[in-house]
Amino acid sequence: MPPSFLPITPTLSTAHSGIPSRLLPKATHAKNLIYNGKTVPDAAPLRRGLPVPQGISKTAFLVAIEELRSALGPDHVTLNDKEVKNGWYMEHPNTHDMMPLFDSEEFIASAVVYPGSVEDVKLIVKWANKHLIPLFPISIGRNLGYGGSAPRVRGSVTIDLGRRMNRILEINADDFTCLVEPGVTFYALHEEIQKRGLGDKMWIDTPDLGGGSVVGNTLDRGVGYTPYGDHWACHSGLEVVLPSVGDDGDVSVFRTGMGALGVGGENTWQCFPYGFGPYNDGIFSQSNFGIVTKMGMTLMPNPGGFESFMYTFANESDLAPLIEIIRPLRISNILENVAQLRHGLQTLSVKGHPRTNYYNGSGPMPDPIIRQHLRSTATGECAWVYYGMSYGPAHIRGHKLSIIDNEFHRIPGCKRIDPATLPADEYFWSRDRIASGTPDLEELKWVNWMPNGAHAAFSPVSPIKGADAEKLYGLAKRRHGEQGLDLMPAFCVGLREMHLIVEIVYDGTDMGMKKRVEKCLRDMIDDAAALGYGEYRTHLALMDQVAGTYNWNDNALMKFNNTLKDALDPNGILAPGRCGIWPKRYRNRGWELKGGETSTEGAGVAPIAGESKI
Ligand code: EUG
């Protein structure tokens, strides 16, 4: 479809998941680029029909759906029996993985349900236990590169929490905290703070793209780029609906931390995350133990000034000595935010042009070609680019920046790029906005590297050591070379560890390429595990493999998770398989994905013995 006919991107005034109007021109441009890169129709009719989950007949499933419809209202339950439509970042599907590694009809929902309240969520949980239908809750569904909104088990009923549960319940300008529902995006929270005239007073922390759910991203232990970048560490208080039905026939909802107080818990719910007794929040992140319906989050006071800086490093071999320089600076907070050290190729690809603009060969784009094209950019020819920010008034920043400048210049060929020389549309300024709490839309431009651009990530964590960086970069380079894929690594440096994020960009319609991407990802996970590195997060397709690497003492951790799963969700209805945790009914039936499969399904689920409680 010619871009001029593309409908306008929904804004926050018309959709909870919409774009802030300040970013609408950017969204229009980004959407045009994406649609220009699509070589196949955006929507395709379902080839395999309604994806009914295993363990229930189609007839019984449709009867159950009618029951849910009459309980919640006909508009709040939709069957997924027509088509797969991929859309793009701002108008993404809530039914399947828009960036599939498998066939699009593998990680796919049978229906989507839209609760409007915690009571509705409880009702849905009761319904799922009665009919033994798997549920998959999403907040916004923009967990892109890790499966998006898609369920792990084919035919699960997606609970789209965000569409109707998207209130900002509180922004507390005294305590610098907020309380949000799952449908609040980083964009929406930022806009609301500006609207209330609090923008000069407080910042939010945002990931590279602002369309994600604050709750969803935090539960997935996502990362942002202000000093409040560790989202999980910055949250305070959850409200959770549990997945089982008690002996009294009711579904339990509870609050963690100070929110558990019988009287007045709201006072300190967002100020002190721990409360009394065991700290339970952890088991609801990257898990399938409960449905989070409210979350508290801390907000950052405006530090009184900020200044981005950017350095380039000439040689690939500068990586290890540079990381050694970064570690003490980061631990002592001279480097104050989760900075990014990116490979030059990512600086090129984020301009949003297809790879074919630069190179037509097969195999990874050769370094001399990358360097040649970087020469004519504002960044200049280099191997690595460091993006960081210093906070506080000028005299405070000056002290820190001079230390950083001296230290970085110990690497021969290091160059500080003067921001004053950079045009307003340079990617640097997007990093500048993000590191100062203003959500942006720039990052997704590198998906245009490939036609029908999709991406999946290899995301290992390691100490901030040169030797670790070299080993991880080395194995990624070797495995990308074997599969003929371009390597675009970025090191995101936390306080005492770093996340290496390797996003592989691929053609989502090219099954051969997808198989190479899967092989590359699986080989990197195995290589990393053999060297003592594990991933902090992964794609649905890779969760079993990654969970399997955390196997110390005869898989003691997974045994513990299984114990929790069986206790909290005896019928196994909540997000089976998420993060490698399979309910009893699914275990040992071949649901785990090890690599090379064409189907994501196992051989059935165990029936429940005895009578249903409902
Ligand atoms: C990015 C960052 C991540 C992640 C996936 C993608 C952005 C890449 C720091 O975490 O998990 C440029």
The domain ranges of the chain are 21-160, 168-301, 306-543
| CA–CA distance, 323 with 466 (Å, rounded to integer) | 5
268 in Cβ contact with 256 (< 8 Å): no
Q: Which residues does the chain have with pLDDT short of 70? A: 1-4, 609-614
For helices 118-131 and 58-72, give the axis angle rounded to 10 degrees. Answer: 160
Q: Using CB atoms within 10 A of its CB, is residue 252 exposed (0-12), middle (13-18) or buried (19+)?
A: middle
- Give the pLDDT score at 5: 80
- Give the pLDDT score at 339: 86
In 3D space, the residue among 166, 173, 178 whose CA is nearest the CA of residue 234 turns out to be 178
| CA–CA distance, 536 with 498 (Å, rounded to integer) | 10
The pLDDT tens digits of the residues spanning 170-203 come to: 999 999 999 999 999 999 999 999 999 999 999 9
- Give the pLDDT score at 611: 47
In 3D space, the residue among 126, 54, 53 whose CA is nearest the CA of residue 606 turns out to be 54
Helix (H) or strand (E) holding 307: strand 306-313
308 in Cβ contact with 389 (< 8 Å): yes
Terminal-to-terminal C-alpha distance of the chain: 50
Domain 168-301 has what CATH class? alpha beta
Catalytic center residues: 146, 536-537
From residue 81, give the alpha-carbon distance in Å to each of 40, 86, 100, 268. Answer: 21, 15, 19, 46
Nearest CA residue ID for atom 2, ligand 1: 501
The 10 Å Cβ neighbour count of residue 566 is: 14
* 492, 497, 504, 535: residue to mutate for ligand 1 pocket, most atoms within 8 A of CB: 492
CB of 492 closer than 6 A to ligand 1? yes
The separation between CA 137 and the C-alpha centre of its own chain, rounded to angstroms, equals 14
- Give the pLDDT score at 612: 52
CB of 539 closer than 6 A to ligand 1? no
| CA–CA distance, 172 with 70 (Å, rounded to integer) | 38
Dig out the tokens for 164 from the structure.
């109707």
Compute the distance from residue 339 Cα to the ligand 1 centre, in Å: 12
Nearest CA residue ID for atom 7, ligand 1: 208
CB of 455 closer than 6 A to ligand 1? no
CB of 499 closer than 6 A to ligand 1? yes
352 in Cβ contact with 444 (< 8 Å): no
- Give the pLDDT score at 382: 98
Compute the distance from residue 554 Cα to the ligand 1 centre, in Å: 31
- Give the pLDDT score at 186: 98
Composition of the chain by helix, strand, coil, percent to 5: 35, 20, 45
Position in ligand 1 atom list of the atom nearest CA 446:
12
Dig out the tokens for 528 from the structure.
């990393």
Compute the distance from residue 502 Cα to the ligand 1 centre, in Å: 8
Nearest CA residue ID for atom 4, ligand 1: 501
- Give the pLDDT score at 134: 98
| CA–CA distance, 82 with 409 (Å, rounded to integer) | 59
User: Which amino acid belongs to residue 595?
Assistant: G
From residue 63, give the alpha-carbon distance in Å to each of 46, 59, 60, 67. Answer: 21, 6, 5, 6
534-535 and 460-462 strand pairing: antiparallel
CB of 442 closer than 6 A to ligand 1? no
CB of 444 closer than 6 A to ligand 1? no
455 in Cβ contact with 99 (< 8 Å): yes
Position in ligand 1 atom list of the atom nearest CA 459:
11
The pLDDT tens digits of the residues spanning 28-69 come to: 999 999 999 999 999 999 999 999 999 999 999 999 999 999
Question: Each residue of 456-486: b (16+ CB within 10 Å) or e?
Answer: bbbbbbbebebebbebbbebbbebbeebebb
Question: Each residue of 30-64: b (16+ CB within 10 Å) or e?
Answer: bbebbbebbeeebeeebeeebbbbbbbeeeebbeb
| CA–CA distance, 311 with 416 (Å, rounded to integer) | 4
- Give the pLDDT score at 610: 53
| 527: three-class secondary structure by DSSP | helix
CB of 535 closer than 6 A to ligand 1? no
Compute the distance from residue 501 Cα to the ligand 1 centre, in Å: 6
Return the CATH number of the domain spanning residue range 306-543. 3.40.462.10
| 184: three-class secondary structure by DSSP | coil
User: Which amino acid belongs to residue 8?
Assistant: I
Return the CATH number of the domain spanning residue range 21-160. 3.30.43.10
| CA–CA distance, 538 with 76 (Å, rounded to integer) | 30
Position in ligand 1 atom list of the atom nearest CA 207:
2
